[in-house]
Structure 1
Amino acid sequence: MGKVIARLEQLGKTRTSKTYTAALNSFIRFRKGHDVPSDEIDSGLMGEYEAYLKKSDLKNGLLSYRRKKTGQRLHMKWEVCMQEIVKRHPNVTTEYLLPVITDPAVPERRQYENALHLVNRKLKEVAERAGLAVPLTMYVSRHSWASIARRMNIPLSIISEGMGHDSETTTQIYLASLDTSVIDRANELILKDL
């Protein structure tokens, strides 16, 4: 991994090398400083590493977690509304912040995926009841956050960091695919002026 990071730096891919460095450091912390031969890295080890948010990820009002897709370590302020959600499950004994992974007999990944499917199904029900044309999902919530941030003129670098993207170019591509209503409004104005 060190060689890959050095090569990325040589190629001028600074942000990608930082992402790889953060992922490597995160894995080293997970392994408590002990190296692991590449032939011992299997799905079980990676499943343990990518496990859902743990109570230990929350310290001094700051939640730190690793985004699975990019490996980027993200940090965010623990808001009161987040704590209210956790408080709804006071009697659940688990190392995780939310009672999603609770059954030691069932693989953690399966429990996580089942919970995600349940949340997405419930979000779609909310969208139907509210009469929304677009079905809601966790993915749609990411799109919404990015769109709202862009409309509020939040700098691209901040949106990129919040999305966990490894480059602002990725964020630009992502945002370009989101909300065509701005272009539609521009076309309306132009057509009215003709």
Structure 2
Amino acid sequence: MATVKVKFRASSVLAKEGKVFYQVIHNRVVRQVNPGYKLYPSEWDTVNAEIVFSPGTGNGRRVYLTSLKCALEEDVKRLKNIITRLERAGQNYTAEEVAERFLMSPDTEGFISFGRELVQQLKQIGKIQTAERYTTVLNSFGRFRKEKDVLLEEVDSNLMVEYEIFLNANDVCPNTSSYYMRGLRAIYNRAVEKELTVQRSPFKHVYTGIDKTVKRAVPLKIIRQIQDLDLSLYPVMDYARDVFMFSFYTRGMSFVDMAFLKKKDLQNSILSYRRHKTNQQLFIKWEKPMQELIDKYDTTGSPYLLPIIKSNGKDERRQYKSEAHRINRNLKKIGEQLGLAIPLTTYVARHGWASIAKSKNIPIATISEAMGHDSETTTRIYLASLDTSAVDKANRLILKSL
């Protein structure tokens, strides 16, 4: 196996900086690699092959030497990873080849660059949602890395623990942190499948589970207050409220499903659509409040039932996502106006419908069918996360018995 040594060559000119370089030795052949780092002779310990600080070193120079010390450690680690990869391939290689690979841009074998390339491939085969998810997690990881890529060989447990600490320090909640980690894990596993790296299980010490979310349902009286608010002087908030109410009227229809509803989906007073999440087909009896809401907006010339996607055929997915952010931003303002303890979003309409249905003793099977869940088990889990009243009542009884 090839070996790596760090060397220093003093300048022939007195009081001038010398050069630090690497020696790659394989099969008795030595190849030198010059990274361009410079030092004074007094700053180099030849015996231990490391940077040292003299007593008179100023703060500015000390910062430079500290960063240079880190750079040397990273370079040596990278050279050794290149050697390991070549050894694992089981083919003959030379010291020259190790040096050439080191001098190549890290982006050619980087984790982030691999992920970006994967995103483009997913877009080409129509997997837009997965591509968008990977883009989101790569953007977050890129911020952590300060946009500096990392070799696939260097993606290990320590790196991911550092990333998790970074997320925690930036007040990212556990579920969002887990979302990023699971996305990065999927990208990493694709690299392993392509035999670009070996499986090092870098995510074994970070959280990749899903915590119970904070209760996001509101009672019927709050839904009435939202419905009855006079927002005529605030058109954008009025529109956001109408989208919220349309979701509630249609048994908690998700925003993406509302955005892509077409006029042809409404036939003979029956609204039919397929859930984007499960592809399950649902049918809803068209009621008066739904029609009154639709009548408020002019969608002439548009195939869509609601004015969420305004430019037909022009990156509709981008339009609906942009509109979702805008609507939820205005819904939060409405929630603050009402003094709600939770942020008001379109999700609250869906959760509210389910919770209210349960409070009216509507069977779980009916609620499950209405919401398009794939099983009653899903609905039970869903409702359990929304309603803690039974547990709260039990706790109250116990406390009263003290």
Task: Give the TM-score, by structure 1 length.
Answer: 0.71
**Identity rate, percent:** 57
Contact 1:147 1:175 in 2 (8 A): yes
Q: What is residue 117 of structure 1 aligned with on the other side?
A: 325
Separation (CA, whole Å) in 2 of partners of 1:140 and 1:168: 20
Query: Which of 121, 126, 129 is the aligned partner of 1:42?
Result: 126
Compute the displacement of 1:43 (Å): 4.8
SS at match of 1:135: coil
Contact 2:299 2:306 in 1 (8 A): no
Query: Which of 49, 65, 86 is the aligned partner of 2:294?
Result: 86
Q: What is residue 134 of structure 1 aligned with on the other side?
A: 342
Compute the displacement of 1:91 (Å): 5.5
Runs of 4 or more consecutive aligned structure 1 residues displaced over 4 Å after TM superposition: none
Separation (CA, whole Å) in 2 of partners of 1:94 and 1:173: 38
- Residue type of the partner of 1:122? N
Separation (CA, whole Å) in 2 of partners of 1:102 and 1:132: 31
Q: Give the direction of change, closer, same or farther, for the CA distance of 1:81–1:149 in structure 2 (3 Å limit).
A: same
Q: What is residue 310 of structure 2 aligned with on the other side?
A: 102
Q: Deviations over 1:16-71 (max 9, x none)?
A: xxxxxxxxxxxxxxxxxxxxxxxx96358xxxxx8700000000111001111111
Separation (CA, whole Å) in 1 of partners of 2:401 and 2:300: 62
- Residue type of the partner of 1:70? T
Q: Give the direction of change, closer, same or farther, for the CA distance of 1:104–1:64 in structure 2 (3 Å limit).
A: closer
Contact 1:62 1:76 in 2 (8 A): yes
Tell me whether 1:146 sits opposite 2:348 in the alignment: no
Separation (CA, whole Å) in 2 of partners of 1:133 and 1:116: 21
Q: Give the direction of change, closer, same or farther, for the CA distance of 1:91–1:149 in structure 2 (3 Å limit).
A: closer
Q: Which has the larger radius of gyration?
A: 2
SS at match of 1:177: helix
Query: Which of 261, 271, 285 is the aligned partner of 1:63?
Result: 271
SS at match of 1:136: coil
| Root-mean-square deviation over aligned CA pairs | 2.1
Q: Give the direction of change, closer, same or farther, for the CA distance of 1:132–1:167 in structure 2 (3 Å limit).
A: same
- Residue type of the partner of 2:370? G
Contact 1:55 1:96 in 2 (8 A): yes
Separation (CA, whole Å) in 2 of partners of 1:76 and 1:118: 27
| Of 128-137 and 103-112, the range deviating more from structure 2 | 103-112
Q: Deviations over 1:63-119 (max 9, x none)?
A: 001111111111111111111111112363200101122214630111111222222
- Residue type of the partner of 2:272? S
Task: Give the TM-score, by structure 2 length.
Answer: 0.35
What runs of 5+ residues in structure 1 fail to find an aligned partner?
1-39, 45-49
Q: What is residue 186 of structure 1 aligned with on the other side?
A: 394
What runs of 5+ residues in structure 2 fail to find an aligned partner?
1-123, 129-256
Number of residue-to-residue matches in the alignment: 150
Q: What is residue 94 of structure 2 aligned with on the other side?
A: none
Contact 1:92 1:99 in 2 (8 A): no
Q: Give the direction of change, closer, same or farther, for the CA distance of 1:66–1:91 in structure 2 (3 Å limit).
A: closer
Contact 2:309 2:319 in 1 (8 A): yes
| Of 110-119 and 148-157, the range deviating more from structure 2 | 110-119
- Residue type of the partner of 2:358? R
Compute the displacement of 1:172 (Å): 0.9
Tell me whether 1:161 sits opposite 2:369 in the alignment: yes
